[in-house]
Copies of this chain bind each other. A is one copy, B any other.
């Protein structure tokens, strides 16, 4: 499964969340990650994320697609990772 994960996390918790998400997905913009992940691994990630978050303030949105070919990606401006050519 291909996913895009975006988060909005308060400053004091964002370092932990960044570290967590990078263990599972590719970091492509300040608060945006993408990658192939199994359903089980995604559940594990979200379980751990939930322990870091304050759900009254923070949020995570996950977009899931069974096939990454269903999505086109266009980047304008500065690219975080110059090589993202698996897309």
Give A contacts to B, CB under 8 Å. Answer: 4, 6-8, 28-32, 46, 49-50, 53-67, 70-80
A18 to chain B, nearest CB (A): 13
CB–CB A76/B64 < 8 A = no
Bound complex: CA A8 to CA B61 (Å): 16
CB–CB B71/A55 < 8 A = no
Residues of B within 8 Å of A76, CB to CB, are 46, 49-50, 53, 55, 59-62
From B61, B70, B77, contact of A74 by CB (8 A): B61
From B6, B46, B59, B79, contact of A59 by CB (8 A): B79
With A6-B6, A31-B31, A32-B6 as contacts: A78 and B55 at CB distance below 8 Å: yes
In the A-B complex, list the 6 residue pairs whose CB atoms are closest, starting with the nearest: A59-B77, A8-B30, A55-B77, A70-B70, A64-B72, A60-B76
